[in-house]
Amino acid sequence: MRKLIKKCSGAAAMLTLGVVVMTIGCKNEPDYKVFRQEVMDLHDKVMEDGEKAVKNRMALDTLSKVKLKEIKTGRPDLDTAEEKNKINLLIARLIKADDNMMDWMHAFQPDIEGKSNAEAIKYFQNEMTKIKKLDGEYKQALEESDAYLEKFNLKPASPVAEHDHSKH
């Protein structure tokens, strides 16, 4: 009986040791869902920039079509043709950022069916790089359009301090 108990205790000890070694030896791969969520969180913040871009485009359009004429009466030296060219360039940059965001959203695949966890992680890491680039495009276009609107004492849609998405 003692031999049986020793054998069982030895087997239990070996089994426990085996589980410990397997646990320590196996590296836990992070879950792709964490990476996907980080991409989605940044996407949501960048979408807010899209809303600000629309507001800035509207303000620039109004400035170009209406307010420049009013401003010209107080500042006869103002070259409205040059200012309209600058406005059109800023609007084009805001539209380009919006278009790039739409292209990214249409191509983005949040479902990873048929991919391993490692493949999904790599995919979402690549998508994070892309959305960070889009964030940079919006940031630059918004900062430029904000500064231009402020030049004419018009309130920009996006305070720069609220725009930092660098936490991702």
The pLDDT of residue 29:
83
Q: Which two tokens stand for residue 96?
A: 């380009």
Q: For the chain, which residues score pLDDT lower than 70?
A: 1-27, 157-168
The pLDDT of residue 2:
56
The pLDDT of residue 155:
80
The pLDDT of residue 117:
96
What are the helix (H) ranges across 63-155? 68-74, 80-107, 117-151
Task: Give the separation between CA 91 and CA 59, rounded to whole angstroms.
Answer: 10
pTM (2 d.p.): 0.76
The pLDDT of residue 165:
59
The pLDDT of residue 161:
41
The pLDDT of residue 135:
98
Do residues 94 and 9 make contact, with C-beta atoms less than 8 angstroms apart?
no
The pLDDT of residue 1:
54
3-state secondary structure of 152: coil
How do residues 65-81 score in pLDDT, each as one tens digit? Answer: 999 999 989 999 999 99
